[in-house]
């Protein structure tokens, strides 16, 4: 059996979906096996919550493995965050590219210190060439914009830090 014949057998295996082939003749043996392709599907979670409250202090402290000074400083920061229940975050509902303005020459939708209403657009997320407007969905004041314009974001990533209105 020469190389041309072996190539023909491989071609026949592909076209007829054959996974095993063995041939033995006159002291020559050839064995061909094709691995089955594993197909996996990614399950996409529906977009439901844009906001996330910081975890309780006890939970944040229980996950710290060491008591170095930097870990203690991190605990102090999370304790301040947790104690201020009026602080919440707008989270990214999808993977995409963050844009803080409708176009490069336009002013940003929101700035630090600006009051927002629930139906105010705070940014655009581009995913697969589709531009999705993200609304605040809560009344409050923008404390901090956590993402730079044009940067990629992950699902659930914090985009804005907001201090909720006291109404």
Per-block mean pLDDT, blocks of 10 residues, the chain (167 long): 79 81 79 67 52 48 49 47 73 92 90 91 90 89 92 92 83
In the chain, which segments carry CATH 2.40.50.100?
51-164
Fold of the CATH domain 51-164: OB fold (Dihydrolipoamide Acetyltransferase, E2P) (2.40.50)
| Dist. CA 135–CA 119, nearest whole Å | 6
| Dist. CA 92–CA 19, nearest whole Å | 45
| Dist. CA 164–CA 49, nearest whole Å | 16
Tokens of 55: 């975890």
pTM of the model: 0.50
Tokens of 51: 């906001």
The count of other CB atoms within 10 Å of the CB of residue 92 is 23
């Amino acid at each position: 059996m020469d190389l041309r014949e072996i190539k023909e057998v491989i071609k026949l295996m592909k076209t007829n979906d054959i996974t095993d082939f063995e041939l033995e003749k006159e002291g020559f043996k050839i064995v061909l096996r094709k691995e089955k392709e594993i197909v996996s599907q990614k399950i996409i979670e529906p977009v439901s919550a844009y906001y996330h409250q910081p975890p309780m202090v006890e939970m944040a402290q229980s996950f710290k493995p060491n008591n170095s000074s930097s870990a203690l400083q991190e605990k102090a920061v999370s304790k301040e965050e947790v104690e201020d229940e009026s602080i919440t975050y707008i989270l990214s509902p999808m993977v995409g590219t963050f844009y803080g303005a409708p176009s490069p020459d336009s002013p940003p939708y929101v700035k630090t210190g600006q009051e927002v209403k629930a139906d105010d657009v705070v940014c655009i997320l581009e995913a697969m060439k589709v531009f999705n407007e993200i609304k605040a969905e809560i009344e409050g004041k923008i404390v901090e914009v956590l993402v730079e314009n044009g940067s990629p974001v992950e699902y659930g990533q914090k985009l804005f830090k907001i201090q909720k209105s006291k109404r």
